[in-house]
Chains A and B, each alone.
Chain A
Amino acid sequence: EDKVVQSPLSLVVHEGDTVTLNCSYEVTNFRSLLWYKQEKKAPTFLFMLTSSGIEKKSGRLSSILDKKELFSILNITATQTGDSAVYLCADNTNAGKSTFGDGTTLTVKP
């Protein structure tokens, strides 16, 4: 059974801080690792990672995958209150299914 574990489960920081969110996985038929952001409604896609060591970047957010150690990290620099959300990671397999971690709830205080 595929397993995706995120840590920490929750995190409280102040504006301007840098945060690192972790995602480890044990997956058969691994294809890629995806990150999503969920505010009040549905999750929205952030990044898809397929290759080790290649950083994906979008503004203040970046992510990288380590396929040897089976983990990924999501970094957010210079956090803002608008970054407050639940961040989810999920695997992609050959069968087209995704298993999600339980998420990290990030709260950014002014």
Chain B
Amino acid sequence: DAGITQSPRHKVTETGTPVTLRCHQTENHRYMYWYRQDPGHGLRLIHYSYGVKDTDKGEVSDGYSVSRSKTEDFLLTLESATSSQTSVYFCAIRNRDETGELFFGEGSRLTVL
């Protein structure tokens, strides 16, 4: 158990509203990630963090921002949600350093109407 929790687990919102997803870890891991998963697309990296206040973009970062003000929390924000952002969002931490395997949270299902 990598001690990762995501909240909320389910959310329905309307187009144009802001949404923040939270990822919380209890084991002081340096690397944290946000992925989205859609049918036929596997997991696609949105943003990742390699330390407090150190973040970088992934392959599908448009429309998303992140913040990491403390080691244990990594927040993903959709400033103005669109229907194309309906997806399942997974947070992950990397075991040990940049070479380790990923451990995933249970996912957050977001529906944008």
Report which A residues bind B (CB closer than 8 A). 1, 6, 31-32, 34, 36, 41-45, 48, 88, 90, 92, 94-103
List of A residues within 8 angstroms of B40 by Cβ: 102
Return the contact of B42 from the options A45, A92, A97, A102 (Cβ within 8 A). A102
Q: Count B interface residues, CB 8 Å.
A: 25
* Known interface pairs A88-B43, A101-B42; A45-B102 also in contact (CB < 8 Å): yes
Interface pick from B12-20, B67-75, B78-86, B104-112: B104-112
* Known interface pairs A96-B31, A97-B58; A43-B98 also in contact (CB < 8 Å): no
Among B16-46, those with CB < 8 Å from A are 31, 33, 35, 40-45
B51 to chain A, nearest CB (A): 11
Return the contact of A45 from the options B31, B41, B103 (Cβ within 8 A). B103
Return the contact of A43 from the options B43, B50, B59, B97 (Cβ within 8 A). B43
* Known interface pairs A97-B48, A100-B42, A103-B42; A92-B98 also in contact (CB < 8 Å): yes
**Interchain CB contact under 8 A, A95 and B45:** no
